[in-house]
Amino acid sequence: MDEATTQKKDIILNAAIKVFAEKGYYSSRTLDISNEAGVAYGSLYHYFRSKDDILMSIFQERWNLLIAKVRQVREQGSGPEEQLGMVIDFIFRSYRQNPDLLKVMIMDVPRLDKFYNPENWKLYNLFFRGLMEIFHEGQEQGVFAADVSPILATIIMHGAVDATIRQYVYNPEFNKEEFPVEEARGQIMMVLRRGFSKKVEGEKS
């Protein structure tokens, strides 16, 4: 795939993110996407097999960035708590940079039947596996409580971040002024750190 093709695909994907975020996947017309992207209707089908394929491509491309981030954080090798913090930071930063993308990832991607295929699950679970490794390492180092399952810890963490971003994206009564992203990020980290951490008294690490 040459450079120009990659660029054109990217233009279309970004247009699609905007359109899907605005109207939701099912209410979005492929014509809207081509208009937004500034390409002819038919061109969409030159670069992508179908409307579904566009959404799946958004997921795969962007989720890989998340996985890459986890890998990078792991290789960098600071403490487990810092590592989790960096992943959470990355997600919140992604939201600030492109709220539309997060909206699509959270609301549209998981609603598409075609999303639930083995290939995507594998990709999806790669992220969780990365988090679980961090967590497990933390347990071995005595930083995190040993009686919490890494799987559950990961799910809880993901759920907390996901639900918070949902509030930002959707809930009009959720006061964004009083509750800047930074604040939310900090509080989640605080609760999770306490929730996961080994009790402070007299344990040897």
**Bridge partners, residue 197, by sequence:** 144
Contact 63, 123 (CB under 8 A): yes
Of a second copy, DNA, none, which one does residue 8 interact with (CB within 5 to 8 Å by kind)? DNA
Exposure pattern of 60-92 as b/e (b: 16+ CB <10 Å)?
eebbeebbebbeebbeeeeebbebbbbbbebbb
**Bridge partners, residue 144, by sequence:** 197
41 interacts with a second copy by CB under 8 A: no
38 interacts with a second copy by CB under 8 A: no
Q: What gap in Å lies between CA 137 and CA 129, rounded to an integer?
A: 12
Question: CA distances (Å), 204 to each of 136, 143, 197, 201, in order?
Answer: 17, 10, 13, 9
30 interacts with a second copy by CB under 8 A: no
Pattern 164-183, binding to a second copy, x per CB under 8 A?
x-xx--xxxxx----x---x
Of a second copy, DNA, none, which one does residue 148 interact with (CB within 5 to 8 Å by kind)? a second copy
- Look-up: residue for tokens 């539309």? 100
Of DNA, a second copy, none, which one does residue 43 interact with (CB within 5 to 8 Å by kind)? DNA
Q: Which is nearer to DNA, 113 or 178 (CB)?
A: 113
Site for a second copy, rule CB under 8 A: 23-24, 26-27, 107-108, 110-111, 113, 116, 121, 125, 145, 147-149, 151-153, 155-156, 158-164, 166-167, 170-174, 179, 183-184, 187-188, 190-192, 194-197, 199-201
